[in-house]
Amino acid sequence: MSKLGFIGLGNMGGPMLANLVKAGHEVKAFDLSPEAMARAAEAGASTTNDAASACRGVDAVLTMLPAGPHVRAVYGETVLDNADEGTLLIDCSTIDVASARAVGEMAAARGFEMLDAPVSGGTGGAEAGTLTFMVGGPDSAFARGKPLLDIMGQNIVHTGGSGNGQVAKICNNMILGATMIAVSEGFVMAEKLGLDKQKLYDICSTSSSSCWALNTYCPVPGPAPASPANRDYEAGFTAAMMLKDLRLSQGAAQDAGTATPMGAAAAAMFALFCNSNDENLDFSAIVNMIRGN
Ligand code: NAD
């Protein structure tokens, strides 16, 4: 058992914390939202009056915050000034690569080991403890952090140095956003040309266009029973989150000087979708925009 601090107890952080408590860890928790704090207390954490108190006297501090500016602020203004020497720092938020590397460098300059450890698997994975963690940071920090990540996830991959967890996450989601659009275009075209969707699915899912967006998350109702299309596109993974990750991918592409025209098109299409539809629908609902309804 170890003592942990956890800052950011929202849709993801809340259930991740609950799994750490269930595994027998003593967790000091802080969030700006009183409701999130109440849920953490119910899960068995001890809540603190401020973020600084959650960082003191613990073996590791974990954060699960909305975006890069929150992570820069929480680490720059609080965590690095209050954590005890030797505390392991793990940021699980999905943020821009530049912020992840800047915060990692600040932490290293102050003598802390830090991991960027964004996740995929959504709130269902957070509750079930089956998240995938993509982890950037030094080998020694990974070795120290893995036992904690193993409690919250089932697939923990060390992707290299600081920031590489975020790189893996945005590359994956850029590919996913673009393939979902391509799959949607195929199914809508088949519909308009009179080809049965089940026939198209049976062929594509076992041939060269086979991919997760098609096989598992098919954007039209019917062929893939577990896909959100069968539940009126209840998320799942919201279009707003996909747009956030696509925008992060485009920022990183600019910084790296790499061409991502498909990623850019996907970002533009999800921005259009979110402006004109319910952005909290599952991202596969983009098929309806492509169909024109
Ligand atoms: P959320 O908005 O539900 O939770 C974020 C929490 O951070 C909120 O409770 C908020 O009050 C708190 N917070 C913000 N600033 C703070 C501060 N300065 N101090 C303390 N608490 C602060 O968001 P979420 O869905 O839990 O997502 C968290 C991160 O995980 C995001 O980066 C998101 O992109 C990523 N993510 C989310 C999902 C998902 O399905 N929800 C999936 C994968 C990754």
pLDDT in the model for residue 110: 97
Q: Is any atom of ligand 1 closer than 6 Å to the C-beta of 36?
A: yes
pLDDT in the model for residue 60: 98
Looking at the domain that runs over 3-161, which CATH code has it been given? 3.40.50.720
Cβ-contact 63, 7 below 8 angstroms: yes
- Among residues 66, 89, 50, 82, which one has the least CA distance to residue 12? 66
Q: Is any atom of ligand 1 closer than 6 Å to the C-beta of 94?
A: yes
Q: Tell me the best of 7, 30, 31, 77 to mutate to test the pocket of ligand 1, counting ligand atoms within 8 Å of each CB and taking the most.
A: 31
Give me the residue spans of the domains in the chain: 3-161, 167-291
pLDDT-flagged residues of the chain (< 70): 1
Q: Is any atom of ligand 1 closer than 6 Å to the C-beta of 65?
A: yes
Q: Is any atom of ligand 1 closer than 6 Å to the C-beta of 219?
A: no
Rounded to 10 degrees, what is the CA torsion of 48, 10, 252, 97?
A: 30
CA distance 103 to 75: 7
CA distance 222 to 224: 6
Q: Is any atom of ligand 1 closer than 6 Å to the C-beta of 100?
A: no
Q: Which two tokens stand for residue 255?
A: 């910084």
Bridge partners for 28 per DSSP:
5, 46
Q: Tell me the best of 7, 16, 32 to mutate to test the pocket of ligand 1, counting ligand atoms within 8 Å of each CB and taking the most.
A: 32
- The atom of ligand 1 lying closest to the CA of 65 is 7
pLDDT tens figures, 15-27: 999 999 999 999 9
pLDDT in the model for residue 122: 86
- The atom of ligand 1 lying closest to the CA of 67 is 32
CA distance 247 to 268: 9
CA distance 159 to 168: 7
pTM summary value: 0.95
pLDDT in the model for residue 124: 86
pLDDT in the model for residue 236: 85
The catalytic position among 3, 28, 146, 169 is 169
pLDDT tens figures, 161-199: 999 999 999 999 999 999 999 999 999 999 999 999 999
22 among known catalytic residues: no
Measured by CA distance, the residue closest to atom 40 of ligand 1 is 122
Residues near 143 by beta carbon (within 8 Å), at least 6 away in sequence: none
CA distance 179 to 158: 25
Q: Which CATH superfamily is domain 167-291 in?
A: N-(1-d-carboxylethyl)-l-norvaline Dehydrogenase; domain 2 (1.10.1040.10)
